[in-house]
Amino acid sequence: MMNIEPQKPVIGFTSGDINGIGLELVVKALHDARILEMCTPVVFASNKSINFYRKSMPDINFSYNSIKELNKINPKQVNLFNCWEEEVVITPGILNEIGGRYALMSLKQGVLALKEGGIHGLVTAPIHKKNIQSAEFTYSGHTPYLKAVFGVNDIAMLMVAENMRIGLVTEHLPIKDVAAGITKEAIVSKIKIIYSSLQRDFGIDKPRIAVLGLNPHSGDEGLIGNEEQTIIAPAVKEVKQNNMMVFGPYSADAFFARGQYERFDAVLAMYHDQGLIPFKTLAAGEGVNYTAGIPAVRTSPDHGTAFDIAGKGKADPTSFLAATFECIDILRRRMGYKEARLNPLKKMSQRMLANVEDERIEDSEGVS
């Protein structure tokens, strides 16, 4: 694992579906030389694929350093790690097997580099969940894939914006299966992961978390379902006993309509649309998907492949840039969290050694 330089970490970028807007976003987001002041980018794709989209945007001056080994990274340039050499037919806006196959190649290389410490953080461009399916990828999205690769017991999909953070108990499940996925154990696990992430990744010492109900009006005291009384409230009670400031369950519609989310550091929603509809509405296009619960840092924009505008130069890089900046910020906050919790005796020893060294230098300088 390489040492993280807080001023300039190495950040990887996957291509996403090569027929979607992923590589267009990469070019638009990374062409500005000022990005190199914040990080050293490494794009996991191929020369030919990046050049295909670069040529479609003649007004953007995008240059890069082509590499096949991560130890050849140039910190003064955007680096392109070649994941494949063969000629690939790119057809923007078309959902086909090729797009999924090369999206997976890019993702595997990027995640491997992240896991092995070749890069410090990873920003993933959008994949299409259907055409990426294969014998090697049987997951409903990036989040469960990362859970499997890093071998953790649980993981939390945390949507992040300047004005809110929303986590999910269940993610990409059909509505008919959501209720079965709402268990006390699942809720407690997600709360603990999000609580820890708020402290370590977002610098919040004493986080406040709101938990939403599952049913309309949070069940209306059991009139419209009893999951709030039998599952969600007991889960909230359990984590409160561990001195966590967790509240709820709240009725989801009133919670967002009244702006109650502004009083909390994070909100735990029960299912995908319950959390993501208000998030995407209120985040105003600057939302970021963050994977909490793995040892590494991975972010992504909060949108999909956008086949309808792929290859037309219309893709907005705002969320992609937000994901890049959030990845860098989380890395820095993690370093601050780690340093603040170093053994005080160890920190004292380091200061004493530094003082001794300073005195030794002063003594040697005084000898004529």
Q: What is the DSSP letter of 172?
A: S
% of residues, the chain, pLDDT over 90? 85
The confidence band for 224, taking pLDDT boundaries of 50, 70 and 90, is: very high
> Which architecture, in CATH terms, is 154-293?
3-Layer(aba) Sandwich (3.40)
The model carries a pTM of 0.89
pLDDT for the residue numbered 130: 94
Per-domain residue ranges for the chain?
1-152+320-363, 154-293
What is the CATH code for 1-152+320-363? 3.40.718.10
pLDDT reading at 94 higher than 60:
yes
The residue to which tokens 């006390």 are assigned: 184
pLDDT for the residue numbered 338: 86
Report the DSSP beta bridge partners of residue 268. Answer: 167, 211
The confidence band for 358, taking pLDDT boundaries of 50, 70 and 90, is: low
pLDDT for the residue numbered 344: 61
pLDDT for the residue numbered 264: 98
The confidence band for 364, taking pLDDT boundaries of 50, 70 and 90, is: very low
Fold match flag (1-152+320-363 vs 154-293): yes
Coil vs helix vs strand at 150: helix
pLDDT reading at 58 higher than 90:
no
* Residues 304-315: tens digit of each pLDDT: 999 999 999 999
The confidence band for 284, taking pLDDT boundaries of 50, 70 and 90, is: confident
pLDDT for the residue numbered 20: 97
Nearest to 249 by CA among 265, 227, 224, 264: 227
Determine the Cα–Cα distance for residues 295 and 230; give it in Å rounded to an integer.
33
